Structure 1
Amino acid sequence: MSYESVFRPDLFRGQTIIVTGGGSGIGRCTAHELASLGARVALVGRKAEKVETVKAEITEDGGIASAHVCDIRDEEAVKTTVKEIIDQHGGLNGLVNNAGGQFPSPLASINQKGWETVVRTNLTGGFLMAREAYTQKLSKTGGAIVNIVADMWGGMPGMGHSGAARAGMVNFTQTAAVEWGTSGVRVNAVAPGWIASSGMDSYPESMKQWIRSLADAVPIKRLGTEAEVSSAICFLLSPAAAYISGDTLRIDAGSSQGGRVWPLPKAKNNEPFNGFHRSTKPNVLKDE
């Protein structure tokens, strides 16, 4: 089997695209789709085993990928990794700033270390990757950057550190689109809502029931798939989005648009798109 992308074959042939957090979840799915469309994908992650596993999957499927271990919060490590990728692949055309992470906690219980760790991961790390991709290569050749944020409109109760960081990344996206636009670099973001991804299994047992109830708050009454996020990322990286920059695309089936107060009846006509041939259901959802 191979990835069943909605885009034409060879769309990214000859291009090198970095995917941070490429060892799991949305990053893994996006890396597979990009590789299936001809891109040379540079997988970046903190754990060698994860990115090496995805590299092996992509290679087995006939694609081209490389694996790179890097803590995106470390400025010197980011500089070195981006240079290594450019040297290895002979160039750079795009960046998917997907790496991130957080832990559930009310604001009053977050200490300074926990706050700064999440902000460094979800905001500072993304900035460092984008800055190095731009200064080392994209400023000379043009290209596209897609930052992955989150549905933080209206606040993120229970994850305020992540909400603050993601909101900062949206503003960074807007600023970079202006400052880097004259170099032919487009910068956009996607904001996934509730996506059935392996990341759901990282939360504690106490959150399982809440996770299983999330679909009820979505107008179409289901969670999204990783492929539904990946396809949006691929579009924003593609020539079809050549006049789109500084925008954030919400991928949440309207769940951020007032569903908290509007009664939601039983849904219909809501079949998911899932072109990812290696997708797996999160464990927390398997016994539904």
Structure 2
Amino acid sequence: MSQSDPPEAIRFLAPDLFSGQVAVVTGGGTGLGLQISRGLAALGATVVIASRSAEHHQALLEEGDAAGWRVYSETVDVREADRVRELADRVVEKQGKVDILVNNAAGNFVCPAEKLSAKAWRAVLGIVLDGTFYCSRSFGRHMIAAGGGQMLNVLATYAWTGMPGVVHSASAKAGVLAMTRTLAVEWARHGIRVNAIAPGPFESKGAEANLWPSEEVREAILRGVPLGRFATPDEVASHALFLLSPACAYVNGEVFVQDGGASLGKGMWTPGDRVGRRKA
């Protein structure tokens, strides 16, 4: 699929589903964030993508211009609380409001815990945990003043299972899981819903470079997915868009898992095989 084609993620959703709404997507110029941004824009939302690198914004800005979407970009490091506050104020000043915040900005790589430097630990925690809180707090203040809105956080299933090699990311995502459920209860009285998605492995250049850099590693991960394949970014994005839609207006504080069954118990026997009993 070329970037000029309609996003696959919207094929099950009504046109203009998000018409009149303003959405902010952190890390919205690449990977999953890009597909969520494309879907929101194609369904009528005014989309503001925010990340550290302006280079990551260009492709979506060009596509949005060609497609007639309302897409804008802001450069920000979500680890800097003051800059995030200024971003939220600027977006509301320019767009009049903010209805949706997608906390997608993240950092991850595989490293044994005993070899992980303090700087590397702090970098991932800063982007994922601190950044999600700073964005939630700053945009949440505007949503509280406006009387409502919704937030969607991007987790990973190892937030509750743990996973060797990603202690930094697992710890940060576990914190975001707790944040999701805490804010869902605390801010519900303001008309704000806070939910999350927890994708399993999905096809992306970032994951390929950082999480399965060799075919051997890729195959090992695939063996743990009962469906036998990775998700596409569009499949994960469609899940996010559904959760942001009016169909889920009574869903609050939930985490939707989309991992092909990878996080489920695999049991002690091979599916389809009959296990014989040992004779006495």
Q: So what's the TM-score if we normalise by structure 2?
A: 0.90
Which of residues 209, 217, 222 in structure 2 aligns to 1:215? 222
Which stretch has the larger CA shift, 177-186 or 202-211?
202-211
Aligned CA distance change for structure 1 residues 48 and 258 (closer, same or farther; 3 Å): same
What is the number of equivalent residue pairs in this alignment? Answer: 265
Report the RMSD for the aligned CA atoms in angstroms: 1.7
The SS at the match of 1:65 is strand
The SS at the match of 1:199 is helix
Q: What letter corresponds to residue 48 of structure 1 in structure 2? A: A
Which of residues 13, 18, 26 in structure 1 aligns to 2:19? 13
Which stretch has the larger CA shift, 43-52 or 178-187?
43-52
Q: 1:5-154, aligned counterparts within 5 Å? A: 5=10, 6-152=12-158, 153-154=160-161
Q: What letter corresponds to residue 170 of structure 2 in structure 1? A: G
Deviation at 1:138, TM superposition (A): 4.2
Deviation at 1:35, TM superposition (A): 0.6
Q: What letter corresponds to residue 184 of structure 1 in structure 2? A: G
Query: C-alpha separation between the residues in 1 aligned to 2:108 and 2:139?
Result: 24
The SS at the match of 2:195 is strand
Stretches of structure 2 lacking an aligned partner (at least 5 in a row): 273-280
**Is the 8 Å Cα contact of residues 218 and 259 (structure 1) preserved in structure 2?**
no
The SS at the match of 2:125 is helix
2:241 pairs with 1:234:
yes
Equivalent pairs: percent with the same residue? 36
Query: C-alpha separation between the residues in 2 aligned to 1:88 and 1:3?
Result: 27
Deviation at 1:61, TM superposition (A): 2.0
Which of residues 253, 256, 271 in structure 2 aligns to 1:246? 253
Deviation at 1:85, TM superposition (A): 1.3
Q: Deviations over 1:235-271 (max 9, x none)?
A: 2211111111111111101110113755357xxxxxx
**Is the 8 Å Cα contact of residues 124 and 172 (structure 2) preserved in structure 1?**
yes
Deviation at 1:71, TM superposition (A): 0.3
The SS at the match of 2:187 is helix
Query: C-alpha separation between the residues in 2 aligned to 1:77 and 1:207?
Result: 38
**Is the 8 Å Cα contact of residues 17 and 95 (structure 1) preserved in structure 2?**
yes
Query: C-alpha separation between the residues in 2 aligned to 1:198 and 1:138?
Result: 37
**Is the 8 Å Cα contact of residues 212 and 218 (structure 2) preserved in structure 1?**
no
Q: Deviations over 1:84-115 (max 9, x none)?
A: 11112121100110010122111111122211
Aligned CA distance change for structure 1 residues 13 and 214 (closer, same or farther; 3 Å): same
Q: What letter corresponds to residue 2 of structure 1 in structure 2? A: P
2:188 pairs with 1:181:
yes
**Is the 8 Å Cα contact of residues 196 and 223 (structure 1) preserved in structure 2?**
yes
Which of residues 191, 194, 201 in structure 2 aligns to 1:194? 201
Q: What letter corresponds to residue 161 of structure 2 in structure 1? A: G
**Is the 8 Å Cα contact of residues 139 and 184 (structure 1) preserved in structure 2?**
no
**Is the 8 Å Cα contact of residues 214 and 223 (structure 1) preserved in structure 2?**
no
Aligned CA distance change for structure 1 residues 226 and 206 (closer, same or farther; 3 Å): closer
Which stretch has the larger CA shift, 39-48 or 199-208?
199-208
Match of 2:7 in 1: 3
Q: So what's the TM-score if we normalise by structure 1?
A: 0.87
Query: C-alpha separation between the residues in 2 aligned to 1:227 and 1:205?
Result: 20
Deviation at 1:136, TM superposition (A): 2.4
Deviation at 1:154, TM superposition (A): 2.1
The SS at the match of 2:17 is coil
Which stretch has the larger CA shift, 50-59 or 180-189?
50-59
Aligned CA distance change for structure 1 residues 112 and 262 (closer, same or farther; 3 Å): farther
Query: C-alpha separation between the residues in 2 aligned to 1:164 and 1:126?
Result: 13
Which stretch has the larger CA shift, 54-63 or 245-254?
54-63
Of the two, which has the highest radius of gyration?
2
Stretches of structure 1 lacking an aligned partner (at least 5 in a row): 266-288
Which stretch has the larger CA shift, 211-220 or 192-201?
211-220
Q: Deviations over 1:123-165 (max 9, x none)?
A: 1101111111111234423011000011213211101110010
